[in-house]
Amino acid sequence: MTDMPAIGYLSDDARTGGEQKQAFEDIRDVIAELPGGSAEIELTISGGAISIPVRSTVIKIDTEADAAADDLDTIGQGNSRDGQVIIVRPVDAGRVVTLKHGNGGTGQMLLTGSKEAVLDNVELSIMLRREGTAWREIFRTTVVAASMARVANKVLNGRMAYSPRRTPGTEIGSANGMNYGDWPAQFGVHVQTSPQARATVSQSTDVPNWSVSPNSLKVDCTTAEAAVAAGEEWAVQTRISGNRLYDLLYGTSDAKTVTLAFDIKSPKAGTHPMGIFVINDNKHFLKEVTISSADTWEHFSMSIALPTAGTAIPFDFTEGLRITWPLVCGSAFHGTVDAWATGEKYSTSNQQNLMDNVANNFSLANVVLVVGDNEETIPLEDFDETMNACKRFYQKSYAYDVVPGTNGAAGGFYETWSLLTGDGTRLRSTMPFPVPFHGTPAVTKYDTLGAQGKASLITGGGGTQVHGQIRIYCVANGPDTITAYKDDSHQGMPGGYGFAVHWEARKEL
């Protein structure tokens, strides 16, 4: 451990030749302690620790006795100084080194996100700086593949940031099938065989302290499920279109391994099954995670090798696969964990009833599905890019923060003042959707008082609105445009009349 000479030490006329030579040696030693200032060395873990020799900063770490995996709990500080920086990486991808976060004591590591770091690739390096008795992470490299698809989150809106519907308080559970509502876009509630359970679902600001997003999805049980029948299911689910999944090479000899990661807060501790279901191939893969403490955020990450045979996922906007977190799931949908198998299964026999009490809340955040084995390669989602991608499935004429069916014209509305024919009977206006849909959407119209299925007639000069008109229509012409018009058979309107109508359009998976 060496310090640089003080400022002005070498230029002081009182320095002897011997003192100047020693000062130059000290400078040389300090430079050697900088990253790249000395040759990379190899250290082997012993009892969960390594000790750094003098003037060593770039270190390859090997497992004890060449084990397939080993944990590094602490890094000895005897030959380092406060503020010194070191860089560590694994010797071999086949001997995985896991850096443990906050194990306590001198030499503990304080890692980003308060999570352990798995070094399973020789291209992965972590830079640490000594701070008192600890080593704090200041930088981490990632493995960058040739294709940008390598770092793309396949889950659209996985950070839960975009929530356009804004219709809070609606109970979910009575309608079988996929339910969408006031919660993060592209996530829904999948219900089968009419379970008793009901809940409200919302976008929440309750997130783990390591979260890269300010939002989560929250399920608040409002009616308990007393007894789960075999065919019943109540689950949080996200569906991913095939054109986001093509580079997975599913069902081919080059099929990839994917990493699925997420944060959950559950009302119960213990085993929680969840799964992936591939639509075209009718195959499922189930996993189980263990919650240590109820009502506490916990992070999970898992690698899944995709099958090398089977029906490929189409490269289009149809549903490619779905990821499901069941809260209620009967035995008809139970399968075997950690194996690809045929059929629509979402859980295992270890499924708990997470909706057996109206006090139960379940939350989900930071969902990532990525090609490869490192979730850290996922950048923070850009809100505008996420919003535009989600608009392939749902749009509205209202402003982002305005609930459809709101009383008033807030958010902009459809309006026209000129007749397209001279017979006084026809009024029509067409506009493009801000983002084309992936197919022809279904449209719901509202008048400016918020009445569903109706429109508002505007008298000459725009002074008066007559609400509740049902003979003014609002339809999609395909994926690109929407038209509002007055029925030709209805009474004629003199020039200068028009209409106002809000709309919602949806074409979800």
Cα-Cα-Cα-Cα dihedral of 185, 187, 191, 196, to 10°?
-80
What digits encode the pLDDT tens for the residues 269-317? 999 999 999 999 999 999 999 999 999 999 999 999 999 999 999 989 9
The Cα–Cα gap between 414 and 438 comes to 23
Q: What was the pLDDT predicted at 413?
A: 55
Classify residue 491 by burial, with Cβ atoms within 10 Å: 0-12, 13-18, 19+: exposed
Q: Is the pLDDT of residue 81 over 50?
A: yes
The answer to whether the CB of 219 falls within 8 A of the CB of 361 is yes
CA distance 148 to 154: 12
Percent of the chain with pLDDT over 70: 87
Q: Burial letters for 265-296: b for 16+ Cβ neighbours within 10 Å, e otherwise?
A: bbbbeeebbbbbbbbbbebbbbbbbebeeeee
Residue 417, pLDDT above cutoff 50? no
Indicate the pLDDT class of residue 53, thresholds 50, 70 and 90: confident
The whole-number average pLDDT for the span 408-422 is 51
DSSP 439: S
Residue 160 corresponds to which tokens in the numbers above?
């839960």
Q: Give 171 or 110, the one with higher predicted confidence.
A: 110
Q: Is residue 359 within 8 Å of 315, Cβ to Cβ?
A: no
Residue 217 to residue 203: CA distance in whole angstroms: 5
- Residue 150: the pLDDT is 40
CATH number of 395-506: 2.60.40
The answer to whether the beta carbons of residues 223 and 239 sit under 8 Å apart is no
Asked if 119 and 126 count as a contact pair (C-beta separation under 8 A), the reply is yes
**Region of residue 231 (phi > 0: left; psi between -120 and 50: alpha; otherwise: beta):** alpha
Q: Hey, is 15 helix, strand or coil?
A: coil
User: Which among 156, 210, 166, 188 is positioned nearest to 381, based on CA atoms?
Assistant: 156
Query: Residue 90 is encoded by which pair of tokens?
Result: 């694994």
Instruction: Write down the mean pLDDT value for the chain.
Output: 86
**Over residues 34-59, mean pLDDT:** 85
Identify the residue with better confidence: 341 or 445.
341
Q: Give the containing element (helix H, strand E) for 240.
A: strand 233-241
Report the CATH number of the 150-390 domain: 2.60.120.260
**pLDDT tier for residue 329 given thresholds of 50, 70 and 90:** very high
* Among candidate residues 303, 307, 345, 375, the one with its CA nearest the CA of residue 158: 375
Bridge pairing between strands 85-90 and 465-469: unpaired
Q: What is the pLDDT of residue 2?
A: 67
Q: Which of 186, 299, 310, 190 is nearest to 248 (CA)?
A: 310
3-state secondary structure of 113: helix
Tell which wins on pLDDT, 425 or 191: 191
The residue type of 287 is: K
**Within 13 A of 490's CA, how many CA atoms are on the CB side?**
13
The 10 Å Cβ neighbour count of residue 5 is 18
Q: What is the pLDDT of residues 349-381, one digit of tens each?
A: 999 999 999 999 999 999 999 888 766 555 567
229 vs 39, which has greater pLDDT? 229
Burial class (CB in 10 A: 0-12, 13-18, 19+), 423: exposed
Query: Rounded to an integer, what distance in angstroms lies between the CA atom of residue 475 and that of residue 284?
Result: 38
Residue 44 forms beta bridges with which residues? Answer: 62
pLDDT of residue 419 exceeding 70: no
Both structure tokens of 128: 């640490």
* Closest to 378 (Cα-Cα) out of 367, 386, 388: 367
CA distance 331 to 101: 39
Rounded Cα gap, residues 369 and 239, in angstroms: 12
Report helix, strand or coil for 258: strand
Higher pLDDT, 333 or 490: 333
pLDDT(208) > 70: yes
Token pair recorded at residue 28: 């040389």
Across 257-270, average pLDDT: 95
Closest CA to 443 of 478, 399, 403, 406: 478
Q: What's the whole-number mean pLDDT along residues 317-335?
A: 96
List Cα–Cα distances, 340 to 155, 309, 325, 362, 367, in angstroms: 21, 11, 17, 27, 21
What is the C-alpha separation between 113 and 116, in angstroms, rounded? 9
Percent of the chain with pLDDT over 90: 51
